[in-house]
Amino acid sequence: MRNYLVIPFFLSCSASVQALTLEQSIAQAMMNNPQLIQKYAHFEAKYKDKRAAFSDYLPQVSLYAATGYEKITNNNGLSYDSELNRRELGLRVTQSLFSGFETVDEVARLDYEIKADQQALISAAENLSLEIAQVYIDLFQTQGVIELSEQNVKEHQEILTNIQKRENKGLSSAADVAQVQSRLATAQSSLLAAKNNSFDLKAQYFDLVGEYPIDLHNPQADSNYLPSSLNIAIDRAKENHPEIKASIFDVQAAEKQMDRDKSGFWPKVDLELDINSNDNIGGFEGPDDDGRIMLTMSYDIYSGGRTKAKTEASAWRKEEAKAIRDNTYRQVIEGTTLAWNAYHFVGEQKGFYRQNVDFATQTEKGYMQQFVLGRRSLLDVLDSKIELFNARKNYLKASFDEKKARYRLINATGKLIEELRVDTPDAWQLKDEDKQEQDHDETSANAQEVNK
């Protein structure tokens, strides 16, 4: 059996039934991570904003009541004084018939913002999943480094024991003992550094997931989600990445905001019903009731240029959203390219590290045999030990870097949560009417934007 296959002993051991898998870790984080809770709260708030805007479609009903003391002195030829208890009670119902399309555009704008916020929430979950995956894999890696370091310390201790025996027999010098002791101290320091790194990673894991890892399963990315070429990876990212979808919805929301602000150029038409039941009004004792239903129109002829300025401002916001969308495309393509390069080259690098382990193992064995025969110095043996330790550690790092590169590439294409088979919470989903609109919007938007 090749030595590089047994470097981390724990890889061949089955995890305990209490182990928290990568998928379980991410599912736990989705329910409790403060960053996602913040994004979700913003997402839900938009639904309430939309409901508030939708209320302008419905009748507005207001009730007015007042009572108090009224005194009137009239000297216009009919002199009289009146001191009465005035009472007023009125009901007004107003139904907007035309608002310059303001309500229509505002509801549509908030629809797009809800969809954009949902995609931003999913993007945050994707990125959090990648971060957890990287920390999870690093924890797995540091366990292997600890085992390698413990093995390295044990081997140096054995060498020290042998050299001390040789010194007692006069076959080695005190300098040889000191040399081994120095290397042993370095090995012990490396072991402590690995353990410290493990504690740091556990703290990072707790920050992301909300609990400390008990045990770990060795994660394996689904190869079906790994693109076979850079062009395929970029195409998948353009089609699926939630940041791109969010940026497209933001542009559509900005367009609707511009349409909404143009409503000031139109007249407003309302249907009003007023019913009043009053007593002791205007100095006349007794009831004073009236009722009317009227069609009203108001037209803002001049508002100091406010409507024009708001429309121009929203037009610039649309340009800003389009620039953000274009920049998002570039960032996604760049991120996908970098992820592909890392995935592609780390695999090749791993092969060379594997050869390094094989050759270093042969060298270490050969040097030990030659040392016993007196053909190699103690320094050569110690150097070969360090070379083998570093080769094993580099191969171990490359193996786990390849795992991280796989998850990073899947994340770059916007499919990491799907690959992990982690269901997003039901509360993150759009309402039924919004889902139908999103299907239509995504079809048209992707046709126009994805192949820019």
The rounded radius of gyration (Å) of the Cα atoms in the chain is 37
Q: Where are the domains of the chain?
A: 3-58+100-265+305-449
- Residue 302 sits at φ, ψ, to 5 deg, of -145, 125
Confidence class for position 5, pLDDT limits 50, 70, 90: very low
DSSP 282: T
Q: Is the pLDDT of residue 11 over 80?
A: no
Q: Are 130 and 405 in contact (CB under 8 A)?
A: no
Residue-wise pLDDT for 63-121, tens only, equals 999 988 887 776 665 555 567 888 999 999 999 999 999 999 999 999 999 999 999 99
Instruction: Write out the E strands in 99-240.
Output: none
Architecture of domain 3-58+100-265+305-449: Up-down Bundle (1.20)
pLDDT digits (tens, 9 = 90+) for 342-375: 998 998 888 898 999 999 989 989 988 888 787 8
| Local confidence band at 128 (pLDDT 50, 70, 90 cut-offs) | very high
Q: What is the C-alpha separation between 448 and 452, in angstroms, rounded?
A: 7
User: 72: helix, coil or strand?
Assistant: strand
pLDDT digits (tens, 9 = 90+) for 304-337: 889 899 999 999 999 999 999 999 999 999 999 9
DSSP state of 67: E
Q: Per the structure block, which two tokens stand in for 292?
A: 């009317």
Residue 450, pLDDT > 50, answer no
- For the segment 389-415, what is each residue's pLDDT rounded down to a tens digit? 999 999 999 999 999 999 999 999 999
Average pLDDT over residues 234-261: 95
Of 269, 274, 297, the C-alpha closest to 93 is: 274
pTM for this prediction: 0.81
Map tokens 């400390």 to a residue.
212
Query: Strand (E) positions, 241-348?
Result: 268-281, 284-298
- Residues composing the chain: 452
